Amino acid sequence: MAEIRIRNTNEIISGEDNVRNFLSQYEVIYEHWDVSKLPAELQNNFTLSDEQKGEILRTFDAEIKDLVARRGYRTWDIITLSEATPNIEELLAKFEQVHTHTEDEIRVIIAGAGTFIIKGDDQTGYFDVNLVPGDLISVPENTAHFFTLTDERKVVAVRLFVEENGWIAHPYDDPAFKKA
């Protein structure tokens, strides 16, 4: 289950309802998929073949169709990142810049873990949303954020897009942001 850490105060928010309520004030959507539906060999696998990626997407066909109906996504895929990813350092360095997009950024964690760092209101400041398998998050358009991995550095996630170019990162220069 996702957990939130507010960077300025180190306050931790946990428990599904608390997490959902906190995120909803920033219009961040937080939902769940049942990853136990996946065959065992796909549940903790970070070197997926295209066939295996297809099998994951087929397993969650109903969940994807539901998101398409509610939110208008038109394409989706699976991203895997691990030490086996050739340019992992470069990719992470690129990810770890505060930015915005013109459409929402939705991710569903299938295996591993990941963290979204999101800008809240002026008083709250930035907060980390630590995601584990089954967690779905959607960061709204024009909300400053970035994504990174945990120390384990591995994740499998489903991504959905409305427009291919809606996901272009627009740098968000924020003197208030401190890496922590």
Q: Which is nearer to Fe ion, 105 or 135 (CB)?
A: 105
Q: Which is nearer to Fe ion, 37 or 170 (CB)?
A: 170
Contact 166, 101 (CB under 8 A): yes
63 binds Fe ion (CB under 5 A): no
Closest separation in Å from C-beta 33 to Fe ion: 20
Q: Which is nearer to Fe ion, 103 or 105 (CB)?
A: 105
Closest separation in Å from C-beta 116 to Fe ion: 8
104 binds Fe ion (CB under 5 A): no
The 3-state secondary structure of the chain reads CCEEEECCCCCEECCHHHHHHHHHCCCCEEEECCHHHCCHHHHCCCCCCHHHHHHHHHHCHHHHHHHHHHHCCCEEEEEEECCCCCCHHHHHHHHCCCEECCCCEEEEEEEECEEEEEECCCCCCEEEEEECCCEEEEECCCCCEEEECCCCCCEEEEEEECCHHHHCCEECCCCCCCCC
105 binds Fe ion (CB under 5 A): yes
Q: Which is nearer to Fe ion, 84 or 168 (CB)?
A: 168
Closest separation in Å from C-beta 167 to Fe ion: 7
Count of residues touching Fe ion (by CB under 5 A): 1
Q: Which is nearer to Fe ion, 63 or 105 (CB)?
A: 105
Closest separation in Å from C-beta 101 to Fe ion: 6
Q: Which residues bind Fe ion (CB under 5 A)?
A: 105
